Structure 1
Amino acid sequence: MLKLFRKYGSVLRFMGMFLGSYFVFSMFYNAYLKFFRSEKYFPDFITHLVGVQSETIIDAFGYDGAVLPHKTELSMKLFVNDYYLARIVEGCNSISIIILFTAFILSFFGKPRPSLLYIFAGSVIIYAMNVLRIALLAIGLYELPQYTSFLHSIMFPLIIYGTVFILWLIWVRNYSKVRKS
């Protein structure tokens, strides 16, 4: 048994760190969602902020964007030129994806300072890409409603998960201690 732990120790460390950090961060995030709901920043501060920032980007592209709290569910209604197109729910705020990204980076933790800076920079990139993708999806749904399924089911996830995958590759190839050993 000890021989197996030695042989697969790095895999077990990776899995333990990944699952452990993912679990801990997810618990903190779920506590945030449970205890920090407010009427002012509906449905929660981060989702509300993503909605407002998406509206700003839609406006910057020359459209009239708007977000309003949904009356019957925990989401923000997203409008382009007064046309209701989508809901921004908690799952659209990129925090779950940032948690996944962070858990992976911690699993391949290198030197503390570069690792923490990479987690911070990667989280900012993921968040920004998410806001941009929501705005572009809304404009795409407005301009090309016949491609709604393709845009939401394929392009929308491809942008955010593609970004995360590229950031992971950069980390493993250039910064993690695994590469240096």
Structure 2
Amino acid sequence: MLVYVGMSLLYKFYLQFSVGSAYYPDYLTHLVAKQSEALFKALGYQVEMLPHPKEPSVMVMIENVYTARIIEGCNSLSVIILFLSFIIAFASNFKNTFLYMLSGSVLIYSINLFRIVILTLGLYHYPKQEAFLHTVVFPAIIYGFVFLLWIFWVNRFSEIKQKDA
């Protein structure tokens, strides 16, 4: 719990010090928007990422249609903090824990980019399904993946698993 609170506070300070930076709304969210844009373009969509004029977010324009927005919560950092806190709580030896934390964070970040693209394309092609896509599909992808990583960790590497065996 202390690890989660500590990392969450660091993240909060990061967001506070990001206000007014060259990257809008903050560096990590800006990076996620740019990388998502590259994925859209790789799929053949004409996409543009624009700073939202009224709120700290990036507007996703597909084929000149305002389809979605990328906010700070879309950058996956809060989910990665939750993931890391769990792994530390059920740590193994330093090498396994560190490598799993690193690889898991990279995987979560990558899955998040694909999640943004899937949701946004879903909103573009099926705008009437917005509530279902955003409240069911969107969280299921990222939290389902994190849950699978946790299960794998506990069953394969965690000291708790090894003590019970």
Q: Report TM bin, short chain.
A: over 0.9
Q: How many residues are matched? A: 163
Partner of 2:67: 85
8 A contact 1:55–1:66 mirrored in 2 = yes
Q: What is the Cα-based RMSD across aligned positions, in Å?
A: 0.9
Provide the rounded CA distance (Å) in 1 between the counterparts of 2:28 and 2:122.
23
Provide the rounded CA distance (Å) in 1 between the counterparts of 2:109 and 2:28.
10
Provide the rounded CA distance (Å) in 1 between the counterparts of 2:137 and 2:65.
21
Partner of 2:141: 159
Partner of 1:9: none
Structure 1 alignment gaps of length 5 or more: 1-18
Larger radius of gyration: 1
Provide the rounded CA distance (Å) in 2 between the counterparts of 1:43 and 1:114.
35
Structure 2 matches for 1:55-94, cutoff 5 A?
55-94=37-76
Give the structure-1-normalised TM-score.
Answer: 0.87
Give the structure-2-normalised TM-score.
Answer: 0.96
Please give the per-residue CA displacement for 1:34-70, whole angstroms capped at 9, x wherever unaligned.
1133442100000001111111111111111211111
Confirm whether residue 34 of structure 1 aligns to residue 19 of structure 2.
Answer: no
**Where in structure 1 do 4 or more consecutive aligned residues deviate above 3 Å?**
none
User: What SS does structure 2 have at the residue aligned with 1:42?
Assistant: coil
State the identity %: 44
8 A contact 1:54–1:134 mirrored in 2 = yes
C-alpha displacement of 1:139? 0.9
